[in-house]
Amino acid sequence: DAKTTQPPSMDCAEGRAANLPCNHSTISGNEYVYWYRQIHSQGPQYIIHGLKNNETNEMASLIITEDRKSSTLILPHATLRDTAVYYCIVRVGDSGGGADGLTFGKGTHLIIQP
Partner 1 sequence: AAGVIQSPRHLIKEKRETATLKCYPIPRHDTVYWYQQGPGQDPQFLISFYEKMQSDKGSIPDRFSAQQFSDYHSELNMSSLELGDSALYFCASSPLGHSEGDTQYFGPGTRLTVL
Residues contributing to the site for partner 1 (CB under 8 A): 34, 36, 38, 41-46, 49, 87, 93-107
Q: How far is the CB of 4 from partner 1 (least distance, A)?
A: 12
Q: How far is the CB of 101 from partner 1 (least distance, A)?
A: 3
Whichever of 53 and 95 has its CB closer to partner 1, that residue is 95
Q: How many CA atoms lie within 13 A of 37 on its CB side?
A: 19
Order of strands, edge to edge, in the sheet holding 61-64? Answer: 18-23, 70-75, 61-64, 55-56
Whichever of 82 and 107 has its CB closer to partner 1, that residue is 107
Q: How far is the CB of 42 from partner 1 (least distance, A)?
A: 7
Q: How far is the CB of 13 from partner 1 (least distance, A)?
A: 27
Whichever of 21 and 105 has its CB closer to partner 1, that residue is 105
- Where does residue 97 fall: left (phi above 0), alpha (psi -120 to 50 degrees), or beta otherwise? alpha
* Residues in Cβ contact with 71 at an 8 Å cutoff, skipping those fewer than 6 apart: 21, 22, 24, 33, 50, 62, 63, 64, 65, 88
Is residue 9 a contact partner of residue 23, using CB atoms and an 8 Å limit? Answer: no
